[in-house]
Amino acid sequence: MLRTPTRNKWYELALNDRRWFADGPPHWKGADQLFEATTKQKKRIERLSHFSKTKPELAPLVRTLRGCTARTRCLSVACPVCARAFKRLATKQIRTFLKLRERANEPIWSLTIVPAEWMVSSDRLLLFDFAKAAALIKRTLLKADVKWAIGAFDFSWNVDASGRLPPRWSVHTHLMVSGDRRQIKKAMAKVFRPSAYVSRPTWTTEMQPTAFRISYPFKDFYVSKRKPIVAGEKVQDARLPVAQKLRLYTTLDLLTFSGRLIMFRVRFGTEGNLTDVSGRKRQDPQIESFMRLEHLDMAIGRGFIAF
Ligand SMILES: [Zn+2]
């Protein structure tokens, strides 16, 4: 596992605050408690170490998760305890950020993008270019003249109920966006087209900035979706097959929290606070260096493990 030993990324500094690992606020319906995440972590370690006997490439992830203690956290996206802490941090800080926007009467849209091009076979998931995907989203947000946006990559294993299409991982995004809804929809429709796999690649709804809704893009549970080809039939969620779980955990571990996030004209500080940087000069050296850091994260997470 190639992981930078320096603890100077914004989320590493922000997650030094132990409250994100505790059970205090933010609270929302269905939010898991620390003991639940710890139980999940234990189970994940057991399962991964079992499979690492035949898949030695899983061993680094087992070591990372085993090294996650209350004193030193592993900060892997594949760690249920750390993923929960990051979700809590993001939810709290975005909520504070949105409360200020609410007073300014700025409407917030929930925008989900499921690009057909991001449907990949199981063995391609590890090779998925998240930096390129995030850049495409940001370019489209720019065309939509969006004020700011924040969200994250999400994953589902899609199985075609008719059996006509082979199963695919769907990498997609959930974003919170401020801007003109019509312009957003128009710009998205131009770039993200329907296909046999995805009948509706983007959708926008007005978003109530509750902790539950804000936490959704940062969710740390992933499902298998049985997608019928016949329109109008209900999509059924199921548990991920074991082989796909292993694939996903390895991908998540390489992704890092910065890599999973998509931010447009907003920035997290080292305290974890979220600020609007839309009004600032583009050449702001702080933003530039932050963007470089974001890309460095991506470079680190590329192509070192394959199975
Ligand atoms: Zn951890």
- The domain ranges of the chain are 10-300
Residue 78 CA to ligand 1 center (angstroms) comes to: 8
CA of 5 to the centre of ligand 1 (A): 15
Distance CA(262)–CA(51), nearest Å, equals 32
Structure confidence at residue 281 as a pLDDT band (50, 70, 90)? low
Q: What are phi and psi of 110, to 5 degrees?
A: -95, 120
Q: Give me the pLDDT at residue 6, please.
A: 53
Residues 6+ apart with CB under 8 A from 77: 83, 86, 252, 253, 255, 256, 257, 260
Model pTM? Answer: 0.87
Q: What's the whole-number average pLDDT of the chain?
A: 87
Distance (Å) from CA 128 to ligand 1 centroid? 23
Ligand 1 centroid–CA 103 distance in Å is 36
pLDDT at 307 over 90: no
Res. 288 pLDDT band, cuts 50 70 90: very low
Q: Are 48 and 58 in contact (CB under 8 A)?
A: yes
Rounded distance from Cα 77 to ligand 1 centre (Å): 8
Beta strands in 106-167 (DSSP E): 108-113, 119-120, 148-160
Q: What is the largest CA-CA distance in the chain?
A: 56
In the predicted model, is pLDDT for residue 7 greater than 80? no
